């Protein structure tokens, strides 16, 4: 099941599922060590009138997971009319320390007084492995502590200023034992003070409720690399007060989103809300070290051998573009610093990375048919340089550009100049945007053209005339080669890719939306070029076939998460928004934006109540598929909205002179 909300401060990242349960908990890097890993559950239960009701097990619970409009704060409601209890959660990750807090309003919805007991259950897989864990009750701090090595997690809670009433530690998943949460079945916990091995813990908060009465519970989970440090976090919560910390988080996000006042001419309240939420979800996936994670949804493990919890330079570059366009150049800057630290000495980026800068897993081999090959997607190298030029345009940080030019821009641009087919002048073979086929794809070639132009522009800023001339010459050669070798005059379409077989070029004419989008977005052709118009119309027509909910698939015959034989593939949020970008660039009147606004409405319709966007959708039902949330989807929505605002301002349609105030 996809995640329903993600909360993060760059050091501690918590993903919550549709039950309101913690299902992923990353620390001390976003996306690196998941100490819950999805298959372990931090349960929540209510004991009343002699029975226990766990939110995951009792079908009587009606649960909605939402997100506040202007703060990365959950808005979760859980109602159970059968037992007469309602829970309202407001969850945050504190912006200054690795502390997860839950404000829970517990309401007795019946007309009689009774005792209600609220239980929180914790189960960790510290360092993503079992064995050697310890969970114990610390009587001095009145907290539960789980630890192994340099990973320590503390659980505290209070009601009306008083700490939790009951506790238990236990063994789980071993010798037939289910865990300490079963201890709550009778409404009393054993107060077992310590366990080691494969352990869990449960705490309880008990009180008597009058008819219709509400009590407020605060729960917090702090992370640290030592017991002394985690106890200091615990004391900080107690000193400042959990209510104050929750409010501080809301204030932070309101201030962050309020840095600029956009005029969202022509957009609905729902579309505007999704814009703000998407911005926050992109920011939530930025690690403290600058890497931007593609997704933190560990349920991807159920469908393959790995997750999306990596820094793909491609996805991350698009996220940095969105952040820069929205005015957060400081966060984007950290990403480019990360890129400088991981780029190879030869000037290219590998497939993907872990947020600590180490190499991520890959399925791209170093040898094929007995021949050495570089296992890269060259578009990832190109996109970083393309995004860096946009970063400079927004930040005007000349000192940073001077600092990063030689180790990043020059190194990558020189690689792209030299890594080309001698005969065609196209980029040499690499894996395509979708990480599946090796050859020279139209998207990759277009991205290299855009990156070389960007490198030339940045060279000009610094007065590096020789660099500028070298990069502009190479860019012109790549552009000419794209139009000569990758455009099919007969069909009016750009080919997916070309490969070399012997001395001949073999064209893969599969219709792929990235082909025409690459030519458009990287400026190979101007938006009003008739070749683009024909190619977009043909691509959209083909890649919408059999998709009853609307939207555009990636390419013909896409089998990734395929669920329907009639549909050409699953519609992706990003690919559908690519078409919106093209329509925006070609709009001239307010009416021309109607189709764009329809696409924005389509994206809103298939978002979760919290605003979470998936990678792709079921073509018949619209159900979210694959990773949720996917940062690329959210970044695409943010960028499309901002391009829409720029265009209506350019055309003078916006009632105010400034629709997008970001420099």
Helix (H) or strand (E) holding 443: helix 442-461
Q: What per-residue confidence (pLDDT) applies to 304?
A: 58
Its CATH architecture, for the domain 330-543, is Alpha/alpha barrel (1.50)
Q: Which stretches within 502-572 are classed as H helix?
A: 513-521, 530-543
The token duo for 409 is: 């821009």
Beta bridge partners of 199: 171
Residue 148 CA, chain-centre distance (Å), reads 28
DSSP state of 570: P
Q: Cβ-count burial of 550 within 10 angstroms (0-12 exposed, 13-18 middle, 19+ buried)?
A: middle
What is the H or E stretch that residue 467 is in? helix 465-485
**Burial of 423: CB neighbours in 10 Å, binned 0-12, 13-18, 19+:** exposed
Secondary structure (3-state) at 69: coil
Query: Residue written as tokens 């020059």?
Result: 410
Q: Chain centroid to CA 662: how far? A: 23
Q: How far is the CA of 398 from the CAs of 328, 330, 412, 490, in angstroms?
A: 17, 14, 19, 47
Look at residue 159 and give its three-state secondary structure: strand
Using the CB atoms, write b or e for 117-153: b if 16+ within 10 Å.
bbbbbbbbbbbeebeebbbbbbeebbbbbbbbeebbb
Measure the CA–CA gap between 603 and 575, rounded to whole angstroms: 11
354's tokens: 């872990």
Domain boundaries, the chain: 5-256, 260-288+544-663, 330-543
Strand partners, 617: 624
Q: Is the dihedral of CA 310, 313, 314, 315 positive or negative?
A: positive
Instruction: Provide the pLDDT for residue 188.
Output: 96
Between CA 138 and CA 137, with CA 39 as vertex, the angle to 5 degrees is 5
Burial 212-240 (b: 16+ CB within 10 A, else e): eeebebbbbbbbbeeeebbbebbebbbee
The segments of the chain whose pLDDT lies below 50 read: none
**Which DSSP helix (H) or strand (E) runs through 26?**
strand 22-26
pLDDT of residue 305: 65
Residue reference for tokens 């420099």: 663
Q: Let me know: does 37 contact 314? Beta carbons within 8 Å.
A: no
Length of the chain: 663
**pLDDT (0 to 100) of residue 39:** 73
SS3 240: helix
Residue 118 gets which letter from DSSP? E
pLDDT at 176: 75
Query: Which pLDDT belongs to residue 547?
Result: 97
The structural architecture, per CATH, of the domain 5-256 is Distorted Sandwich (2.70)
pTM value is 0.97
């Amino acid at each position: 099941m996809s995640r329903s909300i993600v909360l993060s401060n760059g050091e501690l990242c918590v993903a919550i599922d549709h039950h309101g349960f913690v299902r992923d908990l990353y620390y001390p890097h976003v996306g690196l060590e998941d100490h819950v890993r999805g298959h372990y559950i931090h349960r929540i239960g209510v004991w009343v009138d002699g029975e226990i009701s766990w939110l995951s097990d009792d079908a009587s619970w009606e649960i909605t997971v939402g997100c506040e409009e202007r703060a990365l704060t959950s808005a979760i409601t859980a109602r159970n009319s059968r037992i007469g209890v309602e829970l309202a959660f407001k969850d945050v990750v504190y912006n200054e320390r690795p502390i997860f807090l839950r404000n829970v309003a517990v309401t007795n919805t019946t007309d009689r007084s009774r005792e209600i007991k609220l239980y929180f259950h914790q189960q960790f897989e510290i360092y993503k492995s079992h064995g050697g864990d310890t969970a114990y009750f610390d009587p001095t701090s009145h907290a539960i502590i789980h630890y192994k090595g340099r990973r320590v997690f503390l659980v505290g809670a209070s009601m009306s200023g008083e700490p939790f009433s009951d506790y238990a530690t236990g063994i789980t998943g071993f010798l037939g034992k289910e865990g300490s949460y079963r201890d709550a079945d009778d409404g009393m916990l054993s107060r077992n003070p310590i366990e080691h091995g494969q352990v869990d813990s449960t705490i309880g908060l008990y009180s008597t409720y009058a008819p219709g009465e509400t009590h407020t519970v605060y729960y917090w989970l702090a992370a640290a690399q030592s017991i002394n440090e985690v106890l200091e976090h615990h004391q900080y919560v107690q000193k400042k007060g959990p209510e104050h910390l929750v409010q501080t988080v809301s204030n932070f996000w309101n201030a962050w989103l309020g840095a600029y006042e956009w005029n969202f001419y022509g957009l609905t309240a729902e579309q505007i809300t999704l814009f703000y939420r998407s911005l926050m979800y992109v920011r939530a996936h930025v690690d403290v070290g600058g890497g931007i994670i593609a997704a933190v949804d560990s349920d991807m493990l159920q469908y393959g051998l790995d997750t999306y919890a990596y820094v793909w330079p491609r996805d991350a570059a698009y996220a940095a573009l969105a952040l820069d366009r929205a005015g957060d150049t400081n966060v984007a800057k950290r990403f480019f610093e990360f890129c400088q630290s991981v780029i190879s000495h030869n000037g290219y980026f590998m497939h993907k990375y872990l947020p600590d800068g180490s190499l991520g897993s890959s399925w791209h081999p170093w040898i094929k048919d007995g021949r050495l090959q570089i296992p890269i997607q060259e578009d990832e190298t190109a996109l970083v340089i393309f995004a860096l030029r946009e970063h400079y345009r927004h930040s005007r940080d000349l000192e940073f550009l001077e600092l990063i030019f030689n180790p990043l821009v020059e190194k990558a641009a020189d690689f792209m100049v030299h890594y080309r087919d001698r005969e065609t002048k196209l980029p040499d073979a690499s894996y395509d945007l979708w990480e599946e086929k090796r050859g020279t794809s139209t998207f990759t070639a277009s991205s290299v053209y855009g990156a070389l132009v960007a490198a030339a522009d940045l060279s000009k800023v610094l007065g590096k005339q020789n660099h500028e001339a070298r990069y502009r010459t190479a860019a012109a050669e790549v552009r000419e080669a794209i139009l000569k070798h990758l455009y099919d005059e007969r069909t009016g379409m750009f080919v997916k890719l070309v490969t070399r077989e012997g001395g001949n070029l073999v064209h893969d004419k599969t219709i792929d939306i990235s082909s025409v989008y690459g030519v458009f977005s990287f400026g190979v052709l101007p938006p009003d070029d008739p070749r683009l118009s024909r190619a977009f119309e043909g691509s959209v027509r083909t890649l919408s076939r059999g998709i009853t909910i609307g939207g555009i698939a990636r390419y013909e015959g896409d089998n990734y998460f395929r669920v329907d034989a009639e549909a050409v593939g699953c519609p992706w949020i990003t690919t559908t928004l690519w078409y919106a970008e093209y329509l925006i660039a070609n709009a001239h009147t307010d009416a021309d934006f109607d189709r764009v606004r329809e696409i924005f409405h389509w994206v809103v319709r298939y978002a979760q109540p919290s605003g979470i966007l998936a990678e792709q959708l079921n073509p018949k039902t619209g159900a979210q598929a694959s990773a949720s949330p996917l940062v690329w989807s959210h970044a695409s929505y943010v960028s499309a909205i901002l391009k829409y605002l720029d265009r209506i301002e350019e055309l003078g349609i916006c009632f105010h002179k400034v629709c997008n105030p970001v420099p």
